[in-house]
Structure 1
């Protein structure tokens, strides 16, 4: 039996309707690094084409992708698919799957304003405190300009949850 240890997080893939706009948003508002510019990927017999067919199944045809990196070296893959659809409500939290991702910024309010100014929207009227009157730990749920659910924390995950129950 092998040892169990905490794996590190490598990357996350985010589907967007417009790759150039997403790259601009995530580099200009979030400050993430562009490490591979938008690139066309086609269904063919190349290594990447075959890899994508393994994942998506035959008939995916083509998509566009860009690679970014956060300040703590987490990879962000932005995908623009040919048959991309915007759901009416992208917040079906009760369904299995990832329903949000979270970034950390000590000035939650300022980043929330920047996201909103760039075309995103607030899912909460204002940031909330985890321990009101005790600690400055805050959070807010937002949407990026493409409808993806984005949460902003003021402090690290470990600090916010290290006390145990709320």
Structure 2
């Protein structure tokens, strides 16, 4: 039987360069924008190659609420309108049906857990993923989760909660 920590660790070995080890010079701004719906644009045009988006996402870094693409040789600033990633899918793993497994718009996979919590940011749900980045929960995923949500227990803040393993996350208020 696989441990939750082992499963989480194995899922995190994905699409990421060791940018925290690099200290290149700042080379200015580049006209790359991540829109609020997760689309990557270069000079206003969509970047259609998923492999290229994944490559850029692998070197994405955040400092002081600004986002950068970092390589060993250079650091360039980009614009992120909201969260840099989107939770586009979810399911319950067959071997752990009490867990919620998430998939982002670039194919990264995470378990909704204390390590990757659901948070309400700017009145909308987001999940904390790698390197402290947030992945905004897509509206379709949110509606599916709303159908699963449970009412608060006596010792919890009023509202609806989502359960994943031993973790409960506040999803929203009662209407």
Report TM bin, short chain: under 0.3
Point out the structure with the larger strand share: 2
Looking at both structures, which has the greater relative contact order when contacts are Cα pairs under 8 Å and sequence separation is at least 6? 1
- Give the TM-score normalised by the residue count of structure 1: 0.27
Scaled by the length of structure 2, the TM-score of the pair is: 0.26
